[in-house]
């Protein structure tokens, strides 16, 4: 692997959820861990996110959802990624994800599920250890 | 690794192929070489517009408004946004996309964020490669947003056809306008945020500076090659509001005027020649540095020279000359 290689991460806020303090803290943390972090801002549609993934070609996508609409949004994002044959990108979701929702999201290929109180270094390690390429 | 499949797809206008090739070029300069090698004959069709200015002058919002206009003209647009890499951790936060949200899902818009990975000058090492890839991908216009630059980050002037420098009212006085560097080699000055009180004053300051340029025409023989394109062009100046789009019609006229100027005067071919020279120089520097480093770290004769320098029977300049001789013999 070339020494120029950097882990590139996309941090997104899907849906009608304006609370992005967590996403910004995460973006800053991953930056400080030596990664190149793109933050898309709030109110992203699944289509916007998938198009950004296509153009930016990140190694990982971190979805931050606090609005409770993860069951509606995440599977759509995963399906659209599949439509474009994107299977080598780690997709994680975090925020407020109740335990009972995790199996469904896992079935769609999502990982992570970190919520409030998670130590930041746990998430950094998670990203480093779960990359698909 | 074989990239011919990706390159074939790129030339068909495949977005994912373009994105992946930029990643590959970014991550490894030897791979970049192979990619450029195979696509070079397909480049040269895009008009490259450089946008630069201090942090917070509104570059991303300005570009967002430009995108809207170019889409209206049916153009295919590539945008490359460069942001700084942390000198401490090597990480970067790339936040320029946020201002361009409306255009994420448009077929004719390709936005790519790049970290400068420690390169000075306002661009990343691979920005020129990314420009060529987007050119071959079929973009009509490529907009390059530099890092929020200081006064001497002027690399964009070697990569773009037309360079727009963004200024804002209330930032710096008339002394700033007569300083060297970025202010000298701008094609179009844009005073953004024209709704602010002192916008007219900013325009006046720049006009005064430009009037002095008129009296002191550059001696074309003396201008360094990289910047030869500025001769005979008096920079345009315009105030705009990127939020409302006010005055953008006039701005576009000025951009077209500069484009026509480059074409009519033949400066565009001069510019191309210079660009090829500076780019090749860049590549040579990189390759030779690598070779010299290898030589320095693995050669017994050099060990001997180093000892001589330590004993003061040789000085570093003389040692450098001896090494150049060694390299010349190798070629």
- DSSP per-residue string spanning B81-112: EEEPBPTTTS-EEE-GGGGGGGGTT-TTEEEE
Beta-bridge mates of residue A11: A39, A62
CATH number, domain containing residue B232: 3.40.50.300
Decide if B5 is inside a domain.
Answer: no
* Nearest Cα residue to B153 out of B129, B202, B119, B203: B119
Decide if B241 is inside a domain.
Answer: yes
Decide if B73 is inside a domain.
Answer: yes
* Nearest Cα residue to A49 out of A35, A36, A64: A64
Give the total number of structural domains in chain B: 2
Residue A48 CB contacts under 8 Å (≥ 6 apart), including other chains: A40, B101, B104, B105
Query: Between residues B281 and A101, which one has the greater pLDDT?
Result: A101
Decide if B164 is inside a domain.
Answer: yes
Q: How far apart are CA A13 and CA A24, in angstroms?
A: 10
Q: Fold for A8-130, please state it.
A: Rossmann fold (3.40.50)
Angle between helices B29-39 and B4-11 (to 10 degrees): 50
Of B15, B26, B113, the CB nearest to A54: B15
Q: Give the dihedral of Cα atoms A32, B59, B24, B70; nearest 10 deg.
A: 150
Q: Where are the domains of chain A?
A: 8-130
What does the block give as tokens for A113?
Answer: 């599920």
Lay out the sheet containing B162-167: strands in order across.
B109-115, B77-83, B141-145, B47-53, B162-167, B188-191, B236-239
Neighbouring C-beta atoms of residue A96, cutoff 10 Å: 16
**Residue B316 predicted with pLDDT over 90:** yes
Using the 3D structure, point to which of B265, B293, B313 is the last residue of a domain: B265
- DSSP per-residue string spanning B29-83: HHHHHHHHHHHGGG-S-SEEEEEEESTTS-HHHHHHHHHHHHHHTT--EEEEEEE
Same domain, B116 and B237: yes
Of A25-39, A80-94, B199-213, B303-317, where does mean pLDDT reach its minimum? B199-213
Same domain, B189 and B101: yes
Q: How far apart are CA B280 and CA B278, in angstroms?
A: 5
Q: How far apart are CA B48 and CA B70, in angstroms?
A: 13
Q: How far apart are CA B238 and CA B125, in angstroms?
A: 31
- Cα B229 to chain centroid distance, Å, stands at 15
Decide if B304 is inside a domain.
Answer: yes
User: Considering the entire predicted model, what is its pTM?
Assistant: 0.88
Decide if B55 is inside a domain.
Answer: yes
Angle between helices A70-83 and A46-56 (to 10 degrees): 40
Decide if B26 is inside a domain.
Answer: no
Chain A environment of B86 (Cβ under 8 Å): 31-32
pLDDT given for residue B219 in this prediction: 53
Beta-bridge mates of residue A44: A14
B91:A32 CB<8 A: yes
Using the 3D structure, point to which of B265, B291, B320 is the last residue of a domain: B265
pLDDT in tens, B45-78: 999 999 998 888 899 999 999 999 999 999 999 9
pLDDT in tens, B119-166: 888 899 899 999 999 999 999 999 999 988 766 677 888 888 999 999
Same domain, B188 and B319: no
Domain that holds residue B71: 43-265
pLDDT in tens, B281-291: 888 888 888 88
**Residue in B closest to A47 by C-alpha:** B105
Q: Does B269 lie at the interface with A, CB-CB under 8 angstroms?
A: no
User: How far is A103 from chain B, CA to nearest CA, in Å?
Assistant: 30
**Residue A30 predicted with pLDDT over 50:** yes
Chain A environment of B98 (Cβ under 8 Å): 39-41
Decide if B70 is inside a domain.
Answer: yes
């Amino acid at each position: 692997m070339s020494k120029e290689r950097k882990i590139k991460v996309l941090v997104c806020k899907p849906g009608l959820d304006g609370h992005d303090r967590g996403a910004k803290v995460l973006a800053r943390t991953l930056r400080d861990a030596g990664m190149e972090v793109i933050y898309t801002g709030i109110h992203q549609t699944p289509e916007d996110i998938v198009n950004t993934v296509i153009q930016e070609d990140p190694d990982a996508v971190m979805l931050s959802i606090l609005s409770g609409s993860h069951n509606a949004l995440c599977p759509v994002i995963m399906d659209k990624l599949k439509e474009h044959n994107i299977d080598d990108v780690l997709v994680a979701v975090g925020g407020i994800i109740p335990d009972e929702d995790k199996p469904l999201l896992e079935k769609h290929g999502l990982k992570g599920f970190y919520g409030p109180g998670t130590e930041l270094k746990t998430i950094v390690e998670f990203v480093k250890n779960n990359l698909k390429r | 690794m074989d990239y011919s499949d990706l390159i074939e797809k790129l030339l068909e206008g495949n977005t994912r192929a373009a994105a992946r090739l930029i990643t590959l070029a970014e991550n490894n300069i030897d791979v970049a070489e192979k990619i450029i090698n195979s696509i070079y004959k397909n480049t040269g069709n895009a008009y490259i517009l450089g946008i630069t200015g201090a942090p917070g002058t509104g570059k991303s919002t300005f570009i967002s408004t430009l995108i809207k206009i170019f889409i209206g003209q049916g153009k295919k647009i590539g945008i490359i946004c460069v942001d700084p890499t942390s000198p401490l951790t090597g990480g970067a936060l790339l936040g320029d996309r946020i201002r361009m949200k409306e255009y994420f899902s448009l077929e004719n818009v390709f936005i790519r964020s790049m970290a400068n990975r420690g390169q000075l000058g306002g661009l990343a090492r691979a920005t020129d490669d990314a420009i060529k890839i987007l050119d071959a991908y079929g973009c009509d216009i490529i907009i390059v947003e530099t890092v929020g630059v200081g006064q001497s980050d002027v690399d964009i002037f070697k990569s773009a056809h037309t360079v727009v420098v963004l200024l804002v009212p209330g930032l710096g006085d008339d002394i700033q306008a007569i300083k060297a560097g970025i202010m000298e080699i701008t094609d179009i000055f844009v005073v953004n945020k024209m709704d602010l009180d002192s916008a007219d004053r900013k325009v006046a300051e720049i006009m005064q500076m430009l009037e002095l340029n008129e009296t002191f025409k550059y001696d074309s023989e003396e201008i360094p090659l990289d910047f030869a394109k500025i001769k005979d062009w008096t920079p345009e100046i315009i105030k705009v509001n990127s939020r409302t789009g006010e005055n953008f019609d006039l701005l576009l006229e000025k951009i077209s005027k500069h484009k026509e100027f480059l074409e009519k005067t033949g400066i565009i071919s001069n510019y191309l020649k210079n660009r090829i020279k500076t780019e090749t120089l860049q590549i040579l520097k990189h390759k030779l540095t690598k070779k010299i480093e290898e030589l320095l770290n693995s050669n017994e004769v050099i060990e001997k020279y180093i000892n001589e320098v330590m004993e003061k029977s040789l000085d570093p300049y003389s040692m450098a000359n001896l090494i150049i001789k060694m390299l010349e013999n190798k070629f």
